[in-house]
Amino acid sequence: MTVIEVNGLSKRYGDRTVVDGVSFTVAEGEIFGILGENGAGKTTTVECISGLRTPDDGSISVLGLDTRTEREQLRRLIGVQLQESQLQDRLRVGEAMQLYASFYPDPADWRELIAAVGLTDQVRMPYAKLSGGQKQRLSIALALIGNPRVAILDELTTGLDPHARRETWKLIRQIRDRGVTVLLVTHFMDEAERLCDRLAVLDGGKIVALDTPAALIANVGDVDGYRANLEDAFLALTGSGRDN
Ligand SMILES: Nc1ncnc2c1ncn2[C@@H]1O[C@H](COP(=O)(O)OP(=O)(O)OP(=O)(O)O)[C@@H](O)[C@H]1O
């Protein structure tokens, strides 16, 4: 079953087109990654899919609902972790979880989620006192508190140490195994390769490749006598708008 369908999405800021005719679909239970250089239009794309921004052109449906006209219904079905989510400094971890849980009709067990992201010892800690990685883990838990059918995660593991990254990947696989569809933006090639079933590569607001990580790598062949990796594939596909 198709869960996310993006058709001819375009978004302009002033006279600059930052997302330009993007189309793709994501199937139920898939982990779908979006890769691209800084400014390629990844966040704008996922914000349009989350219903947080209104596209200038094109249509987007998530779980059969139109993101322009059926935002209210969608809000309960999508969990969104955005870059640099900011909470009130004095709000404690447990309080934030309970507050967000109260927004949803059928929330997850917040203590279980907090344990899954490794923040049980920080439950009474105010947001301002958390480290960057702990804030990041809290934002992942908050994205999942509503038991979403679709999780949209922007720069999932930025700022996390290697152990926490692996734990986070495990958590994402677990929620996928429960049937949640995952859309994630990442700059990490290992994360994209290990975690994602398929990847869309954005360059200058356009999709320049859409395939499994293995197929993207196979398309490159050898580089300097070595078998290419995903970074080689990414570098070969992107950077068309660069001056150098
Ligand atoms: N509210 C806004 N007003 C004007 N321009 C914007 C706005 N938001 C984003 N942009 C511009 O749109 C382009 C795409 O931004 P976007 O955040 O979608 O890129 P990205 O691929 O997510 O980048 P990064 O990897 O740096 O997060 C950038 O050039 C950015 O400066």
Q: Which residue has the higher pLDDT, 226 or 32?
A: 32
Instruction: Give yes or no for residue 85 having a pLDDT over 70.
Output: no
**97 band by pLDDT with thresholds 50, 70 and 90:** very high
Q: Which residue has the tokens 């930052």?
A: 18
For the four alpha carbons of 207, 74, 164 and 126, in that order, the dihedral sign comes to: positive
**Does a structural domain hold residue 173?**
no
**Does a structural domain hold residue 100?**
no
**Does a structural domain hold residue 43?**
yes
**Does a structural domain hold residue 19?**
yes
**Does a structural domain hold residue 131?**
no
pLDDT at 63: 96
Residue nearest to atom 12 of ligand 1 (CA): 18
CA of 43 to the centre of ligand 1 (A): 7
Per DSSP, the three-state class of 161 is coil
11 lines ligand 1 (CB under 6 A): no
| ipTM summary value | 0.96
CATH code of residue 229: 3.40.50.300
**Does a structural domain hold residue 140?**
no
Q: Which of 145, 146, 137 is CA-nearest to residue 170?
A: 137
Domain that includes residue 4, residue range: 1-77+152-159+188-244
Q: What is the mean pLDDT of residues 175-201?
A: 94
Instruction: Give yes or no for residue 205 having a pLDDT over 80.
Output: yes
CA of 220 to the centre of ligand 1 (A): 28
Instruction: Give yes or no for residue 160 having a pLDDT over 70.
Output: yes
207: amino acid identity, one letter? I
Total domains in the fold of the chain? 1
Q: Any residues with CB less than 8 A from the CB of 202 and at least 6 apart, and which? A: 22, 34, 35, 36, 40, 41, 42, 45, 208
